[in-house]
C-alpha cells in the first residue's frame, strides 16, 4: 500500500510487511514516477481483471493536481497472475511506485504499526523480536519496559527481557530429578525419571509442563558432555501437567522409557539434567541439576 502526496511525501508499506513507512521522494524519484504514470496512462487506465485465485491485486487511485491533469482522477484495478498476460507499462509503474518503500524498509525505518486490519490483535509478535504491535500500539522491549508482560491472544503472552527481546512470559527450573531403573526378563531396561519442575507463569495461557521433554538435556557430570538418557527407545510416555495463568508452583512429571541396555540412563550414576530458563530455543540453559539414582 502506498499513499503518495503531490509534494512527494509518502506513507505506506512494502510488499513483505505491514509495518508502516514514511518518507519523501527526491527529485529524481518524483520525475521517474511521473514518467511511469504517464507511460501507463494512469488517468484513463481501465480495470485489468484476470480469472485467477489467490493472486496479486492492485487498486490504484490517482488524482491530477497540476497542469493539464488538474481536475482529472481515476481508479482502477490491476491483477497480476502467473502465466497470464501483463501490461508492461503498468508493471513498471508498480515497481517504480513501491521501490521507495522497499528502500525505506530495508533501512529499518518502517516502524509504525499497521493501519490495515490484521487477523489478530498482535502483529509481528515472534519470540525474540524487539518490538511488535498490538491493536495499533507499538510495544518496545528495552530497559524501561523490562519484565513487562503483554497478552497476545490467541498466542502465548510475551515478557520483555531486554537482552533477548520479547520472550515467553513463563520461566521454569528443575528442582529435583530422581531416576529408577528396572529390567525385564530379557534384560531390557526401563528408566523412570521423576522430575519436580517449578513454573512461574505470568501469562494468560497455560504452560504445558510435560513439554519440558522437548527441551531437556542430559549430560555426563564427569565430562560435561551431552548424552541421551535412553537410546534405541522402544516405548516412552510422560505424565501431562499444565501450569495455569498466574501459576507459581512445583509440578511433578514422570517420564518412562525403555531401550538399549547400554543407555546412559541404565548404566551411569553421574548424570545431570539441564533445561532452558524459559520454554524457548533462544533462552539460555540453566546449570545442570544432579539426577539422583534411586536404585
Residues ≥6 apart with Cβ < 8 Å to 203: 149, 151, 156, 157, 158, 159, 168, 169, 170, 245
Distance CA 209, CA 243 (A): 6
Please say whether the beta carbons of 176 and 166 come within 8 A.
Answer: no
Above 80 in pLDDT, residue 95?
Answer: yes
Q: What is the pTM of this model?
A: 0.77
Q: What confidence tier does 37 reach under pLDDT thresholds 50, 70, 90?
A: very high
Q: Write the CA distances from 52 to 15, 16, 39, 258, 270, integer angstroms.
A: 20, 21, 26, 54, 64
Helix axes 27-39, 88-106, angle to 10 degrees: 150
Q: Give the mean pLDDT of 232-255.
A: 96
User: Which grid coordinates belong to 252?
Assistant: 511433578
Please say whether the beta carbons of 170 and 201 come within 8 A.
Answer: yes
Residue pLDDT, tens place only, 134-185? 998 999 999 999 999 999 988 999 999 999 999 999 999 999 999 999 998 8
Residues ≥6 apart with Cβ < 8 Å to 107: none
Question: Per mean pLDDT, which range of 30-44, 55-69, 197-211 is the poorest?
Answer: 55-69
Question: Per mean pLDDT, which range of 86-100, 112-126, 151-165 is the poorest?
Answer: 112-126
Q: Give the mean pLDDT of 53-67.
A: 87
* DSSP code of residue 37: H
Distance CA 245, CA 161 (A): 19
Residue pLDDT, tens place only, 202-243? 999 999 999 999 999 999 999 999 999 999 999 999 999 999
Domains of the chain, earliest start first: 2-106 (no CATH), 122-168 (no CATH), 170-293 (2.60.40)
The closest alpha carbon to 273, from 194, 171, 174, belongs to 174
Above 80 in pLDDT, residue 127?
Answer: yes
Amino acid at each position: 500500500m502506498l499513499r503518495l502526496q503531490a509534494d512527494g511525501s509518502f506513507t505506506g508499506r512494502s510488499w513483505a510487511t505491514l509495518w508502516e513507512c514514511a518518507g519523501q521522494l527526491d527529485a529524481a524519484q518524483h520525475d521517474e514516477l511521473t514518467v511511469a504514470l504517464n507511460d501507463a496512462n494512469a488517468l484513463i487506465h481501465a480495470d485489468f481483471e484476470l480469472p485467477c485465485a489467490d493472486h496479486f491485486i492492485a487498486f490504484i487511485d490517482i488524482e491530477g493536481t497540476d497542469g493539464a491533469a488538474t481536475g482529472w482522477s481515476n481508479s482502477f484495478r490491476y491483477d497480476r497472475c502467473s502465466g497470464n498476460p501483463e501490461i508492461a507499462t503498468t508493471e513498471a509503474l508498480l515497481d517504480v511506485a513501491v521501490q521507495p518503500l522497499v528502500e525505506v524498509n530495508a533501512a529499518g525505518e518502517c516502524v509504525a504499526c499497521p493501519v490495515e486490519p490484521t487477523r489478530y490483535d498482535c502483529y509481528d509478535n515472534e519470540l525474540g523480536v524487539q518490538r511488535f504491535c498490538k491493536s495499533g500500539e507499538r510495544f518496545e522491549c528495552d530497559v524501561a519496559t523490562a519484565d513487562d508482560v503483554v497478552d497476545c491472544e490467541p498466542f502465548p503472552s510475551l515478557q520483555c527481557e531486554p537482552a533477548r527481546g520479547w520472550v515467553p512470559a513463563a520461566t521454569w527450573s528443575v528442582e529435583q530429578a530422581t531416576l529408577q531403573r528396572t529390567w525385564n526378563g530379557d534384560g531390557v531396561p526401563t528408566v523412570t525419571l521423576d522430575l519436580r519442575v517449578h513454573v512461574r507463569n505470568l501469562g494468560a495461557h497455560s504452560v504445558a509442563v510435560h513439554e519440558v521433554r522437548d527441551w531437556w538435556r542430559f549430560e555426563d557430570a564427569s565430562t560435561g558432555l551431552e548424552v541421551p538418557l535412553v537410546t534405541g527407545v522402544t516405548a516412552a510416555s510422560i505424565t501431562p501437567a499444565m501450569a495455569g495463568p498466574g501459576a507459581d508452583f512445583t509440578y511433578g512429571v514422570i517420564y518412562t522409557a525403555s531401550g538399549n541396555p547400554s543407555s546412559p540412563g541404565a548404566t551411569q550414576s553421574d548424570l545431570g539434567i539441564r533445561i532452558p530458563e524459559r520454554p524457548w530455543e533462544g533462552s539460555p540453559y540453566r546449570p545442570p541439576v544432579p539426577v539422583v539414582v534411586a536404585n
